[in-house]
Amino acid sequence: MDEIGLFPLPLVLMPGEQAPLHIFEPRYRELVAECLERAEPFGLVLSDEEGGIREIGTRALVVEVLDRFEDGRLNVVVEGGERFRVVGLTGGRAFQTAEIDPIDDELELPAPDERERTLAAYDKVVAAAEAELDELDRDGSDLSFQIASRIDLGTEVKQQLLEMRSERDRVVELAGLLDRAAEAVARDREVRTRAAGNGRVEAL
């Protein structure tokens, strides 16, 4: 069991995902400065008004400092590492700390046809959105985390995926989510195209 500094935020960081953060509160400037000095991660956990601090989070390592401001603020890029479970909150620092245990996946892997279905659904979303995203490692063992890092499915859905203990379960769940997302994106594009073309939207 380890103790780690927590950074509660209204976002979810997947293992392997990179995200920019603006560090402005003094307590979190202290936390990030300490992590930079020691080359150690802090714990990033989803926190919002409805659910408070969630039990499952991700170790976040600062991989790049983009800006240092005279008043101590920082713009940084963090990368998600291993997942953890908060065992208990601890105190004594300006920032929240917690005792944590690592989370390991079960060994159940998706079948080839399940991976292919999810990849096909992912490709449909990207094509419908006409998006240019970083290439997937399509044979990677972390396919679900790669996809969840690239497609915005909403914070709650992303947290649910983070908490799943099986790569197969995540891949199967993503197939349905991505199919619905592709349909929604395609509908939205058609509505916008029709509206731009003649000033009104015709019922299908």
Length of the chain: 204
Question: Tell me, what's the pLDDT at 50?
Answer: 82
Question: Tell me, what's the pLDDT at 202?
Answer: 45
Rounded CA separation 193/185 (Å)? 12
Kindly state the DSSP code that residue 50 receives in the 8-state scheme: T
Token pair belonging to 55: 């039990």
Q: What is the tens place of the pLDDT at every residue in 15-30? A: 999 999 999 999 999 9
CA 44 to chain centre: 10
Token pair belonging to 139: 């044979």
Question: Tell me, what's the pLDDT at 178?
Answer: 96
Question: Tell me, what's the pLDDT at 49?
Answer: 85
Q: Are 88 and 80 in contact (CB under 8 A)?
A: no
The full set of domains in the chain, from first to last, is 2-102 (2.30.130.40), 112-198 (no CATH)
Burial class (CB in 10 A: 0-12, 13-18, 19+), 44: buried
Which residue positions in the chain have pLDDT lower than 70? 190-191, 193-204
pTM, entire model = 0.89
Q: What is the tens place of the pLDDT at every residue in 59-87? A: 999 999 999 999 989 999 999 999 999 99
Token pair belonging to 160: 């649910």
Q: Are 82 and 58 in contact (CB under 8 A)?
A: yes
